[in-house]
Amino acid sequence: MGSDLTFLSATDQADGIRQRQFTASALLRACIDQVERLNPSLNAIVTRTFEEAQVRAHEADAALSRGEIWGPLHGLVVAHKDLFSTKGVRTTYGSKIYEHHVPEVDALPVERLKGAGGVSIGKTNTPEFGAGSQTFNEVFGATCNPYDLTKTCGGSSGGAAVAVATGMVSLADGTDLGGSLRNPANFCNVVGLRPSPGRVPNWPDNLPWFPYSVAGPIARTVQDIALAMQVMAGPDPRSPIALETPGSHFAQPLKRSFQGVRVAFSPTLGGLPVERAVLDVLVESAEHLRRIGCEVIDEDPDLQSADEIFEIWRAWRMELRVATLPADRRHLLKDTVIWNAQQGEPLTGPQLSRVESRHADLFHCMRRFMERFEFILAPVNQVVPFPVDVPYPTEIEGVVMEHYIDWQKSCYRISACGNPAISVPAGFTSTGLPVGVQLIGRHRDDFGLLQLAHAFETVSPAARRRPPGA
């Protein structure tokens, strides 16, 4: 079956294993073949655990023959972002400082994916400490876009998006602070969900109360995202902000009527510069939403304060992260990480108090806006995939980007609001580069957002287009 097997949805793969149409071992062999064939040019999987995976797949097959099912992901092939600790497996965080680091525990998302039957084949590439939406680092190098090897795959969950897009894995995990699940999903024509803070708990975490950075899944379909969320979501006593809704909530049917549902169409999210190719796909996507019954209305939420809120809190977080590193090793950090940490060093109590007050105002502003609209349609990124050897865009439509995260405002403005958001495939440029769209839901309405994304997916053909040669 080869690549045809690897490109089945994760949902269909799971059903096929349970119905004994094929074995977990057969799926694993097909995925490993994809890695062996494609990864040398893409660099998505940077640490391999193939031998352990083969043992695990064999055990999954033996368990099924006894009538035992480990969980919803029984026998599915998964990989873990190199920001997540993996017990006994090298975890570098994309940094030379941790090049040979081997943790003693699994991070909670890893623990849950494995516990539900996932077969792990290794770690996916990420920029140093997840800083930036371009996946490259001094340990492993850059990860390329599967639709054009000269272009970036985005980031920081870039390796995860590429592995999913090319059928190397069934599902992958990732993180999203300023767009790190949505951005690479957008650039690689797959689906990336930024859940509500607390929806997918994480541990270990030196900032367990920090609401902006979240864990979540990347998959080829929205239904597969829901499958992953059945496992990844739900409370855990190790996370103080974990929401109480169990993961089983995401096992409900995704199909619903959207007749008359109001969607705000915000193609520039309040005046951001956006490339023409992105705008063209957004306009077409608004028509797709109208086809499923939505009432799509041009209107922008007021997100002007989100920039300051996000940038200050990111700088504070980065300074804290760098301050915990060995002093004699900090010189190994990339320049943008050092710069971002330096932005956090002079922050004062009054500054943090002011930004937290503005954060409260932003929440209520968005809450009132979403009382009139159930969803928002917006760009994921303001640009299409750019050259892989360019660290970040320095200008968009003639507007200069002041620093390395400035071009990510279309994502991080939503991060500051705390609303769930998802990137779904929506179209392609004239040169064959993927363009996704960002759908944004009401506060903590992750499931409703998946329902809309699923309905959108049924009328948008973009997701069915594989990378060349995959």
Task: Identify whether 433 is part of a domain.
Answer: yes
- Checking if the pLDDT of 1 tops 80, the result is no
CA distances from 436 to 50, 78, 162, 240, 377 (A): 32, 23, 15, 33, 11
- Please write the tens of the pLDDT for every residue from 334-352: 999 999 999 999 999 999 9
Instruction: To the nearest 10°, report the CA torsion of 16, 17, 21, 23.
Output: 140
Place of tokens 């990864």: 39
> Which pLDDT score, from 0 to 100, does residue 328 have?
87
Domain carrying residue 11: 3-464
pLDDT grade for 463, boundaries at 50, 70 and 90: confident
- Please write the tens of the pLDDT for every residue from 64-94: 999 999 999 999 999 999 999 999 999 999 9
Task: Identify whether 81 is part of a domain.
Answer: yes
- Please write the tens of the pLDDT for every residue from 160-178: 999 999 999 999 999 999 9
User: How much is the CA Rg of the chain, to the nearest whole Å?
Assistant: 21
Task: Identify whether 210 is part of a domain.
Answer: yes
DSSP state of 466: P
20 neighbors 96 (Cβ within 8 angstroms): no
Single pTM value for the model: 0.98
Kindly state the tokens that stand for 170. 């069934």
- Please write the tens of the pLDDT for every residue from 99-154: 999 999 999 999 999 999 999 999 999 999 999 999 999 999 999 999 999 999 99
Instruction: To the nearest 10°, report the CA torsion of 315, 321, 322, 327.
Output: 160
- Checking if the pLDDT of 414 tops 60, the result is yes
> Which pLDDT score, from 0 to 100, does residue 3 have?
73
DSSP string, 400-422: EP-STTGGGHHHHHHHHHT--EE
152 neighbors 171 (Cβ within 8 angstroms): no
10 Å CB burial of residue 4 (0-12, 13-18, 19+) is exposed
Task: Identify whether 152 is part of a domain.
Answer: yes
DSSP state of 196: P
Which of the residues are catalytic? 81, 156, 180
Give the number of domains in the chain.
1
Task: Identify whether 470 is part of a domain.
Answer: no
- Please write the tens of the pLDDT for every residue from 276-295: 999 999 999 999 999 999 99
Mean pLDDT (whole number) for 46-65: 98
**What pairs with residue 387 in β-bridges?**
151
Q: What is the C-alpha to C-alpha distance for residues 136 and 7, in angstroms, rounded to an integer?
A: 26
Mean pLDDT (whole number) for 220-234: 98
- Please write the tens of the pLDDT for every residue from 384-395: 999 999 999 999
- Give the number of other Cβ atoms within 10 Å of residue 273's Cβ: 17
Task: Identify whether 155 is part of a domain.
Answer: yes
Task: Identify whether 469 is part of a domain.
Answer: no
266 neighbors 299 (Cβ within 8 angstroms): yes
> Which pLDDT score, from 0 to 100, does residue 370 have?
98
- Checking if the pLDDT of 4 tops 80, the result is yes
Q: What is the C-alpha to C-alpha distance for residues 156 and 162, in angstroms, rounded to an integer?
A: 12
The CATH number that applies at residue 224 is 3.90.1300.10
> Which pLDDT score, from 0 to 100, does residue 2 have?
56
Amino acid sitting at position 350: P
